[in-house]
Amino acid sequence: MEPSDRILELPDLRDRTGVFRDRAHAGRVLAGMLEEFRDSDALVLAIPAGGVPVGAALARELNLELDVAVVSKITLPWNTEAGYGAVAFDGSVDLNDRLVASAGLSSQEIERGIEQTREKVRRRIGELRGERPLPDVSGRTVIVVDDGLASGYTMMVAARAVRSAGAERVIVATPTAHENSIGRVADGLDAIYCANLRGGHSFAVAAAYQRWHDVSLDEVKRALAELPGE
C-alpha cells in the first residue's frame, strides 16, 4: 500500500483555516473520523502538551483509554523553537541529517543536545506519570494524537517508538497538517487521519483554530485524570 492510500482526510475542510473552535472541538471532529474504534481495546496516546486536549476529547467521545506519549524535539543551541531531531519516551533518538548538516553542529553540540532532551523527556514523564509504568501496547491498536503536524518530525519519532514497543497497529490522528509533512509521517503507519489537510508555502498549526493557547502542565494533568485509564 502506498503512503497516500493510508491518509484519510475530510475533503470539505481541505486548505481551510479557522475550522476548529479549539482543541477539544478538533478532537471531537477526529472522533467522527475514527468511529470504527468506539468501545474497542484501542489506546489513545496523546503527545503533550497540545495533543492532550485533542486526545482527551477523542478518547472521551469514543470511550477509549487515554495515556501520553512524551516526545520532545532537540533544539538548536541558539534557537529553542527550531529542532533538528527528537527524543521519544523510550529514549530513542532520531536526527534530521539534512538540518544537522545545514546547521553546522559539532558532534559535541549534538551529543549535548541529545542528553539535555533525554533529561527533559525523563522529567516530563515523571511529572505526568509518576511511578506508573507505561501501558502495555503489545498486540494493541495505538492511536497517536497531536494538535497538528508542521514538520511532522516529533510524530514520526513517537510512532516509531510505539511500533518498537510492540503495537500491532499504529495510527496517527491529527486535526491539521501540511500535505508534505503528512506524506512523510504516513510511511510506516497503518493509517493517518487528518481532518484539515493544507498545502502552500507557509503553514501554522494555530491557523486551524479559532482559539489557541499554550497548554499548561496542569491542564494536561486534569485531562488525564478525567478519562478512562486513570
Residues 28 and 87 in one domain: no
Residues 35 and 10 in one domain: yes
**Is the pLDDT higher at 187 or at 57?**
57
DSSP conformation class of 20: B
At residue 135, the pLDDT reads: 87
For 51-73, what is the mean pLDDT?
A: 95
pLDDT tens, 139-181?
Answer: 999 999 999 998 888 899 999 999 999 999 999 999 999 998 8
Picking from 84, 101, 129, the residue at the C-terminal end of a domain is: 129
Q: Is residue 39 part of a domain?
A: yes
Residues 97 and 29 in one domain: no
Q: Is residue 230 part of a domain?
A: no
At residue 2, the pLDDT reads: 57
CA atoms within 13 A on the CB side of 31: 21
Q: Which domain holds residue 35?
A: 3-69+135-225
Cell 495510527 maps to which residue?
171
Q: Between β-strands 93-95 and 72-76, what pairing exists: parallel, antiparallel or unpaired?
A: unpaired
Residues 47 and 86 in one domain: no
Instruction: Look up the CATH number of the domain holding residue 125.
Output: 3.30.1310
Categorize the per-residue pLDDT at 62 as very low, low, confident or very high, splitting at 50, 70 and 90: very high
Picking from 85, 107, 129, the residue at the C-terminal end of a domain is: 129
Task: Indicate the number of domains in the chain.
Answer: 2
DSSP string of 42-78?
Answer: -EEEEPTTTHHHHHHHHHHHHT-EEEE---EEEEETT
Q: Hey, CA dihedral for 148, 8, 32, 69, is it positive or negative?
A: negative
Instruction: Look up the CATH number of the domain holding residue 187.
Output: 3.40.50.2020
